[in-house]
Amino acid sequence: MNVEICNDRAVWDAYVASMPEASNYHRWGWKEAIEETFGHDTYYLSAVDGGEISGVLPLVHMKSRLFGNFLVSMPFFSYGGVLASSAEARESILAKAAEIGGELGVSHIELRQCSAQPMAWREATPKVTMELSLPERVEDLWKGLSSGMRNKVRNGQKGGFRVEWGGAEAVGTFYKVFSTNMRNLGTPVYPQAWFANICKYFPEEVKIPTLWDGEQAVASGIITCYGNTLELPWSATLPESRKKHSAILMYWTLLEWAITNGFSRADFGRCTKGSGVYEFKKHWNSVERPLHWYYWLAPGTPVPELRPDNPRYRVATRMWKHLPLGIANLLGPRIVRSIP
């Protein structure tokens, strides 16, 4: 079995589409979006046996003075990692990844697997994702909510919001809400080009719902669609709109849309167990699923903790909250490009 760098998008995506355990982020388009937005080098490894692909691993090389030198699959998302048809293919790819890591002098390789894997690499699961199995009818989803959640949805619907669905043309509106929210949280923001490029490479699979209060956009999100799953990797609301339950209405709107369009699962994205975000997502009757992340570590290297909620970054977080929005939007993309 030979492991090589794959340069054939069609062959790669055909293999990914054939694998039931594949994630959205195994697809080739993410390589192009990441390279174009952030300029990172990528190593898309494929195991080839008898002329046929039997495994793949998308790797992104991230290197900076502030956060170090490492490989990750996939950065910015909860999923990625090795996808293989056999144990031999998986082990061959992992060996090649470690070889490349050694050549690049990285401190670690991080694989964000969708499920537990039989591998010797060290496992750490600091986060969970929240998932909701969707019924076939909106009425059944409504009946399954608590009376308190139904009242909040009703109050949101009475708040006078206008809902608009868009694609690439709505990126600018989404970014105004999202970047404001990220600054308020004390977290560096992605560049607007990142979301524009996602829409560019996945024009049919990305939707952007926005809630308007009069002439002001007060809530917006990026929805990605893959197979039977709708995922919400990014969403934001302006603080002054939350008293009118804008966040509640945003979630209800996307779930209603998902059921109407035939999706059977909603992925609300990763969060820290017990956090406020975790509790909010749990109110929709979603269930937690541990994220299985695996690490190859250079000798003497501990498992990395490059997370915004790491206590090491608390002072920086407090300072970031007080930056003017324009400054935060200028500096944020230069920092976040190296945070996986």
**Residue positions counted in the chain:** 340
Give the domain extent around 185.
129-290
**Would residue 330 count as lying in a domain?**
no
Residues 166 and 263 in one domain: yes
> Quick one: pLDDT band at residue 249, thresholds 50, 70, 90?
very high
Q: Is 108 exposed, middle or buried (0-12, 13-18, 19+ CB in 10 A)?
A: buried
Identify the CATH number of the domain in which residue 66 sits. Answer: 3.40.630.30
In this structure, are 194 and 117 located in the same domain?
no
The alpha-helical segments, DSSP class H, found in the chain are: 9-18, 28-38, 87-104, 138-144, 147-157, 171-185, 192-201, 246-260, 276-282, 314-320, 325-336
According to the model, what pLDDT value does residue 264 have?
Answer: 97
pLDDT at res. 306: 65
| Whether residue 155 sits in one domain with residue 114 | no
Respond yes or no on whether the N-terminal peptide bond of residue 74 is cis (omega within 30° of 0).
Answer: yes
Q: Is residue 314 part of a domain?
A: no
- Whether 276 is in a domain gets the answer yes
Of the pLDDT bands very low, low, confident and very high (cuts 50, 70, 90), residue 309 is low
Range 60-80 average pLDDT: 94
Establish if 326 belongs to a structural domain: no
- Summarised one tens digit per residue, pLDDT across range 191-206 is 999 999 999 999 999 9
Residue 28 lies in a domain: yes
| Tens of pLDDT, residues 260-285 | 999 999 999 998 888 899 999 999 99
317 has pLDDT over 90: no
160 token code pair = 């006078």
Domain boundary residue among 245, 267, 290?
290
Model confidence pLDDT, tens digit, residues 19-54 = 999 999 999 999 999 999 999 999 999 999 888 999
**Does some domain include residue 117?**
yes
Output the pLDDT for position 187: 92
DSSP codes joined into one string, 216-262: EEEEEEEEEEETTEEEEEEEEE-GGGGGGTHHHHHHHHHHHHHHHTT
pLDDT band at 308 (very low <50, low <70, confident <90, very high): low
The answer on pLDDT for 114 being more than 90 is no
| Per-residue tokens: 154 | 């009703």
Q: Based on the domain organization, do 115 and 167 belong to the same domain?
A: no
Task: Judge if 177 and 75 occupy the same domain.
Answer: no
12/74 same-domain check: yes
| 41-49 vs 206-213, strand pairing mode | unpaired
Residues 46 and 145 grouped into a single domain: no
Whether residue 183 sits in one domain with residue 120:
no
pLDDT of residue 311: 64
Tell me the CA distances in angstroms from 39 to 31, 33, 338, one per residue in order: 10, 9, 11
84 plus 70 within the same structural domain? yes
Residue 27 covered by a domain: yes
Give percent of the chain with pLDDT exceeding 70: 98
Structural domains counted in the chain: 2
Buried b (16+ CB within 10 A) or exposed e, 241-257: beebbbbbbbbbbbbeb
Q: Are residues 77 and 120 in the same domain?
A: yes
pLDDT, residue 22, reads 96
pLDDT at residue 316 is higher than 90: no
Confidence of residue 180 (pLDDT cuts 50, 70, 90): very high
Average pLDDT, the chain: 94
Question: Are both 166 and 222 inside the same structural domain?
Answer: yes
Cα(43)–Cα(109) distance, rounded to whole angstroms? Answer: 12
Q: Is residue 224 part of a domain?
A: yes
102 shares its domain with 136: no
